[in-house]
Structure 1
Amino acid sequence: MEKMTLVEALDKKVLLQKRIHSRIRTTGFVEWHKHNELRTARKKQKVAEFEADARASYQSIMDLIAYYDKLNEAISKANAENKIETSIGEMSIAGVIARKDQLSRKVENMGILIDDDEINGNIDLEQTLARQLETQLAYALKKVNEQNQKNNTSAEMMRNSILGRENKGKEDSAVTSVVEAYLSENKAELIDPIGAEAQSKKLREENEKLLMELNVKLKIANATVEIEI
């Protein structure tokens, strides 16, 4: 029975992957030769030696794969069974890893539609909500500014139309009152009942804080939890 910490097991898993892939790439399993020659065509190795080496190498690789599978199973079992206390409650190590992966995926694109990663649960839900708040706020502010610019243009045209060409640019209190009333009645205003900017900032800050916490606690768990294979 072999005992090791999770961090040791994870390091060994990575090394095993590299070792197995290297052995698979560099090992000769199949060769050919002419019937009247006793050596292989490529490496000029005696046929009997090649056959023995191929069988031994194949078995060695299969043994490494079997050990890798046992190691991987032990890691998965430890991740499922061992719990970590976090600020959002008790979670299994596997749960912490999954949540950390979600938090680590950044939502960069700005758009109204929710993408496949978000629907499939690959993106943290709070990030999706923050992105949607930011997107809708930016869109609404853009429309408010555009509409008010149009209103200003229309108001200026209205002023000039009332005053006439000969009085263009002159001040007239009656005309000014009409124009100001028009601007007031048609003014575009933002409707933001939840305070989208502040809420989005809060969500992102909380997510960053949680991600840092989970990273630290996962490192501690990996260094202290032991597995046996």
Structure 2
Amino acid sequence: MVQEITIARALTELKTLDKKINKKISESKFAIVCKQSSKKVDGIQTREEFNQSAKSSYDSIVDLIARRNEIKTKIVASNAITKVAIANKEYTVAEAIERKNSIELDKMLLVSMRNDYNRALALYESSNNKVEQQLNEHLETMFGTETKQKDNDVTIFTENFRKQHGYEIIDPLKLKEKVDKLTDEIDSFETEVDACLSESNAITKITISDDK
């Protein structure tokens, strides 16, 4: 016999099975040493009782693992074909889960790009501020305060001075645009992903064996 359950319920059962399997394994004994003359192997159980208990524990654990594997396999298969829309982009559930798990890499890239851009911008502004101070000192020395009467000379000197001593940002990637875009992508995805997956899991169903 089979039964149809939602992915949400299947995920809950997986957690329960994991706890049962771990508990059963930790509590089970599959082999023991005792004197040949002893009637009870552990002071409590006879040999026959211990043998039955070990076999029963083993069979129970194997059955629990088999059910867990069946449910997990069905979930994985469903996730590979079920589609969800997150931040105006379509993913399979498997892709969305992977994106959720790997988005830390995008965050690392984002931090690196933002830091590089901010450092470059700060250095660019401070360096050019010093250049402007130097320029003003040169203008005052060369032309005094009557610079309006020598506008053409001042303009030529200023342009040449800035070209020779000024700083520029080498930014082949256009970091500001990339930072803004990636920030928006990450924020939009993380805002919607959990709700979208929960909604999908609540309505998507898989077929599994009846739990006996």
Gaps of 5+ in 2: 145-153
SS in 2 for 1:2: strand
Residue 174 of structure 1 corresponds to 142
SS in 1 for 2:169: coil
Q: How many residues align?
A: 193
Tell me how far apart the structure 2 counterparts of residues 151 and 175 of structure 1 sit (CA, whole Å). Answer: 18
Q: Quote the RMSD (CA, aligned, Å).
A: 3.3
Residue 38 of structure 1 corresponds to 39
Instruction: Write the deviation string for residues 27-55 of structure 1: whole angstroms up to 9, x where unpaired.
Output: 111111111111124x5322221111111
Q: CA deviation at 1:150?
A: 7.8
Q: CA deviation at 1:138?
A: 3.2
Residue 138 of structure 1 corresponds to 118
Which piece of structure 1 moves more, 131-140 or 75-84? Answer: 131-140
Q: CA deviation at 1:192?
A: 4.7
SS in 2 for 1:40: coil
SS in 2 for 1:188: coil
TM-score (norm 2): 0.74
TM-score (norm 1): 0.69
Higher relative contact order, chain-length normalized (CA < 8 Å, sep 6+): 2
Instruction: Write the deviation string for residues 129-151 of structure 1: whole angstroms up to 9, x where unpaired.
Output: 53443133134235436756886
Q: Which has the higher helix share?
A: 2
In the alignment, does 2:13 pair up with 1:8?
no
The sequence identity of aligned pairs, in percent, is 26
For the structure 1 residues 143 and 210, does the alpha-carbon distance in structure 2 shift closer, same or farther, using more than 3 Å as the test? same
Q: CA deviation at 1:84?
A: 2.2
The AA in structure 2 aligned to 1:136 is D
The AA in structure 1 aligned to 2:67 is Y
Instruction: Write the deviation string for residues 79-133 of structure 1: whole angstroms up to 9, x where unpaired.
Output: 1122223444432211221122223x2xxxxxxxxxxxxxxxxx24xx4653443
- 1:220 pairs with 178, 181, 199, which one? 199
Residue 27 of structure 2 corresponds to 26
Give yes or no for contact 2:87–2:188 (8 Å, CA) kept in 1.
no
The AA in structure 2 aligned to 1:18 is K
Q: CA deviation at 1:190?
A: 3.0
Q: CA deviation at 1:22?
A: 1.0
